[in-house]
Amino acid sequence: MSKIILTVATTGAWISKEANPHVPITPEEIAEEVYACWKAGASMAHIHVRDNEGKAAMDFDNFEKTVKMVRERCDIVINLTTSGGLGLKEEDRIKPFFELRPEVASYDAGSMNWGHNDVFLNSPNFLEKLGKTMQECNVKPELEIFDSGMVYNTLYYLEKDILPNPPHYQFVLGVPGGMSATVENLVFLKSLIPSNATWSAFGIGRMHLPIMYAALALGGHIRVGMEDNIYYTKGVLAESNVDFVKRAVRIINEFNSEVASPDEARQILGLSK
């Protein structure tokens, strides 16, 4: 693959300033970080926001502020989360992409035990509603896969036209309660998806580099950022999401590939700007 979609996930739902003082939390910080990552080469931004106390949330006002500021500054592909925490109301999970119409939004393709201490619930009724609403809004689902059973869920919904074809997968490896971040697991997951699918992958924490290299070797796209990993190297905190983007750009180039521009990413994913 000559063009690689490089997604940056700047914030996530859980990382605090106490864990890494450089993680962006406010709409202004997130928008500035996304802009800096775009300048460094990122193709797409996967965006979470927090509430005004910095906690996990699907705060619509903060989504609206963040998306507005990002759109004013650059043309990066915007990918909004639908899972900014646990135990959230379905309507709160849907409202940001329904109202703001990003080009992409996350679609967590099943329920799981989260971190060995809670349940991340995505019921069949919700997944059907989510898929149908995304199609009505012309928002492409990014099918987030935490274990192999979730792939089979997506195959069912693809057959029922609840999800659009061709699909785009994001393999999320290393979350406690999901599949471990191993190259063997990545190869297995890739073997399950339709031949016309596009896909990306990332590993949590210390496995982010092995999964990045494996994804590129297997012809996939990649994701980096503080949502998934706060250390640049062992024991050394990242000072910015830009650190991860710049390293990923170097690695992609060393694979004799190039980072896709936002418009090239749109073409790969079949999006209309």
DSSP code per residue over 45-98 = EEE-EE-TTS-EE--HHHHHHHHHHHHHH--PEEEE-S-SSSS--HHHHHHHHH
CATH superfamily of 3-269: Aldolase class I (3.20.20.70)
Q: What is the pLDDT along the chain (273 residues), one digit of tens a residue?
A: 689 999 999 999 999 999 999 999 999 999 999 999 999 999 999 999 999 999 999 999 999 999 999 999 999 999 999 998 888 999 999 999 999 999 999 999 999 999 889 999 999 999 999 999 999 999 999 999 999 999 999 999 999 999 999 999 999 999 999 999 999 999 999 999 999 999 999 999 999 999 999 999 999 999 999 999 999 999 999 999 999 999 999 999 999 999 999 999 999 999 975
Q: Going by C-beta distance under 8 Å and a sequence separation of 6 or more, which residues neighbour residue 142?
A: 46, 79, 104, 105, 106, 107, 168, 169, 170
DSSP helix/strand/coil, 237: strand
Task: Provide the token pair at 163.
Answer: 């999800």
Helix %, strand %, coil % of the chain (to 5): 40, 20, 40
Task: Provide the token pair at 48.
Answer: 């979470």
Could you give phi then psi for residue 112, rounded to 5 degrees?
Answer: -160, 160
Q: Report how far apart the first and last C-alpha atoms of the chain are (Å, whole number).
A: 22
Burial label for 91, CB within 10 Å (0-12, 13-18, 19+), is exposed
Cα angle value 197/91/121 (rounded, 5°): 60
Cα separation, 27 vs 20, in Å, equals: 17
β 168-173/140-145 pair status: parallel
